[in-house]
Structure 1
């Protein structure tokens, strides 16, 4: 059995803010997420980061499924098993298991044009943001995204990369419960990153 412990050797000190974060996880997921244990070394930063991400999407034209496509593609390109399991499962709920597995594999041919463009953009931003060109941005525009949505998508991808980097560097393993609940095709596709 894999321990929930990260490379930080202990849980953060108890405090009302840590207790609130843990309780929020138990209420929503039934357990305390490993990533919450890592982030609760600064629960104030966790709350601020969550609020910033919510603010970004609150006035956005990006749909929940488009966001799930972006995060799934970002996590797979980054090699982040934790977010790939979580968001691959979310994408499977919003589409189907096979679609989520294909996005995790980098196959976008069956996606609507807007989603395929966002998945490709996500991978480009992860792999080499300095190599983006006007042609990459034009593909997003041709798929129907306006410049504000392109900014929002890019910022969302960068926020996901920040979350993944912190989780991965500090050893937050995917929760066994998360892996168990993931659709079979999603689970089988994720052979990289820290395992549950």
Structure 2
């Protein structure tokens, strides 16, 4: 039998309570003869938030790294995260630490051969999800370009470039040029570099 850590999360007060989730997981653990050694919760926190914004999840992962338990039990996938890639990342990190993952509603148990196969399928789906997002992004950029929409940072007008060049020739500090022209430092350095690489010719 395993030492199990329970994890529960709710986004809002309208959502189910963490206690409801914990009760279901405690009953499951008792039925399997597992020992619940720790419980971690995040209340009022979206599943889209990263580990750094979810103290319960962060504490659980730190305890897993210390070998405090053998398995993490969660009511369902969405309690861990809102994207497949995030879910797979957490599951993969747990597996690397020698900690199995049990998802109550999905009946996924990574301690079994079938559960490991299911988890592998999640990884494939996560990769597919990333490919779809990448493809949609590229299609959106192509449509915007076709409509004549300018992409990227706005360019500096020729008049302003000449003013910046003149200030640079006069030895004006970069930060002062930025304040005078309201142009970003990176653009000023670009103009400075172009001036150094292609100095004006003299007759």
Which TM bucket (shorter chain)?
A: under 0.3
In terms of fraction of residues, the more helix-rich structure is: 1
Larger relative contact order, structure 1 or 2 (CA cutoff 8 Å, min sep 6): 1
Please identify the structure whose Cα radius of gyration is greater. Answer: 2
TM score, norm. by length of structure 2: 0.24
